[in-house]
Amino acid sequence: MTAPGARRATRLKVLPEHARAHNRSLVLATLFHDGAMSRADLARATGLTRVTTSDLVGELLGDGLVVEQGVRQGAGPGKPAILVDLDREGLQVVGLDLSDSREYRGAVIDLTGAVLARRALPRPADGEAEAALAAVRSLATELLGAATRRVLGVGVGAPGVISRDGVVVSSPNLGWFDLPLQRELRELLGVPVHVANDANVAALAEHTLGGASGDVLVVKVGRGVGAGVLTRGELTRGSRDAAGEIGHVTVGTDAGPLCACGRRGCLESWLSIRSLEERIAQGADREAVLRDAGERLAIAIAPVVGTLDLSEIVLSGPADHLDGILRDTAVDTLRARTFLHDDVQVRMSAQGDDVVLRGAVVLILDGELGVS
């Protein structure tokens, strides 16, 4: 009955110090999501005792991650509480978004979400690996210099297949194959770096900042079409780190437009912004084009919605194309093609053009502080 070959990497021993780290992250996450509160409030929120909470807060104060904000004003009897909070304005993150069709974008963002500085560089031509890497190095260095306070880390969202440890396994757009970008930037910059797929980063943003549920599919429509899947609140990476690569899945049983990849009927050939605009420019009826795109999107994701029992789909990309006819058609088609999913939501992202940059903050919060 045993299966000796089935090695599982997740099976690791747990020591008391791991519990400590977990509870530390728990305190940080509680502050991040619920805002400033007293040590006693934190104890109630986490279930830990006041004593333990106080000890953890002391440690976090020492690490400069948390700050005291003075006493709470006029609140009932008892000794007034000293509010503590994540040092939201004293901690900053550098985010890079390499998924835009025209430029590499970057920003310095603090933990309130405020964008403190922006930089951009024109995108090198597809496949220009060296130029792309030089641009990223330059952008990261400049933004790190533009930070005004302590930088927790640099988060990068890039198109392509990216491994858990930040190796760009394959990114035709960027011309990178097996490039250990995370390690390279880490050595160049001297601060923690996390690199992940752009759509996956967008999914993190939707979940942690946008309040999306723990089971959500984020579809990012731009140059291409990518997705990020969260189940149980955690990112799904897949067996080869290629989870979310949905752009070149064939949709429907009736051929369809020719895709750049050489096949017919890929989701991307129906839905990418370029495809939409090309077909409209060629004289096709705009409404019909958007309706088709919405329908095809739903046809593609209906099996995913059914299999994973998703209740929420988030669309990220230009609202003028995605919101309205396209989304409405997608909802209708999805409900018609699935079972038990009459209430499935298909909504636009509220994160705007900065999804990936904001997601980079989440990438760092999760990777460095264990906050998600």
State the residues that interact with DNA by CB under 7 A: 13-17, 19-20, 23, 38-41, 47-52, 54-58, 71, 74, 76-82
Q: Which stretch binds a copy of itself (CB under 8 A): 62-70, 110-118, 121-129, 269-277?
A: 110-118
Sheet holding 150-158, edge to edge: 115-122, 103-110, 91-97, 150-158, 193-197
Contact 218, 212 (CB under 8 A): yes
| Residue from 211, 197, 166 nearest 184 by CA | 166
Binding site partner of 349, from a copy of itself, DNA, none, Cβ cut-off 5-8 A by kind: none
Query: Which of 130, 254, 320, 342 contacts a copy of itself by CB under 8 A?
Result: 254
Tell me the C-alpha distance between 14 and 2, whole Å: 24
Residue 86 CB, nearest approach to a copy of itself (Å): 9
Contact 307, 326 (CB under 8 A): no
For a copy of itself, give the closer residue by CB, 146 or 209: 209
20 three-state secondary structure: helix
| 250 scored as a contact of a copy of itself (CB under 8 A) | yes
Residue 134 CB, nearest approach to a copy of itself (Å): 28
Tell me the C-alpha distance between 50 and 45, whole Å: 11
For DNA, give the closer residue by CB, 62 or 262: 62
For a copy of itself, give the closer residue by CB, 90 or 252: 252
For a copy of itself, give the closer residue by CB, 145 or 233: 233
Q: Where are the beta strands (DSSP E) in the chain?
A: 37-38, 66-71, 82-86, 91-97, 103-110, 115-122, 150-158, 161-162, 168-171, 176-179, 193-197, 216-221, 225-231, 234-235, 312-316, 345-348
Contact 127, 114 (CB under 8 A): no
Q: Give the x-and-dash track for 262-281 against a copy of itself (CB under 8 A).
A: ----x---------------
Binding site partner of 187, from a copy of itself, DNA, none, Cβ cut-off 5-8 A by kind: none
Cα–chain-centroid distance for residue 29? 17
Query: Which of 155, 159, 166, 210 contacts a copy of itself by CB under 8 A?
Result: 210
Tell me the C-alpha distance between 250 and 98, whole Å: 26
Residue 59 CB, nearest approach to DNA (Å): 9
| 130 scored as a contact of a copy of itself (CB under 8 A) | no
φ/ψ of residue 169, rounded to 5: -65, -45
Binding site partner of 307, from DNA, a copy of itself, none, Cβ cut-off 5-8 A by kind: a copy of itself
For DNA, give the closer residue by CB, 26 or 227: 26
For a copy of itself, give the closer residue by CB, 130 or 342: 342
Query: Which of 58, 64, 233, 352 contacts a copy of itself by CB under 8 A?
Result: 233
For a copy of itself, give the closer residue by CB, 48 or 133: 48
Residue 27 CB, nearest approach to a copy of itself (Å): 10
| Residue from 116, 136, 217, 130 nearest 182 by CA | 136
Q: Which stretch binds a copy of itself (CB under 8 A): 100-108, 209-217, 276-284, 285-293?
A: 209-217
Query: Which of 14, 74, 102, 178 contacts a copy of itself by CB under 8 A?
Result: 14
205 three-state secondary structure: helix
Cα torsion for 22, 26, 27, 30, to the nearest 10°? 170
Show contacts with a copy of itself in window 32-91 (CB under 8 A): 32-35, 46-48, 88
Residue 53 CB, nearest approach to DNA (Å): 7
Tell me the C-alpha distance between 246 and 298, whole Å: 12
Structure tokens belonging to residue 365: 């919060």
Query: Which of 62, 178, 307, 320 contacts a copy of itself by CB under 8 A?
Result: 307
φ/ψ of residue 113, rounded to 5: 95, 0
Show contacts with a copy of itself in window 134-193 (CB under 8 A): 161
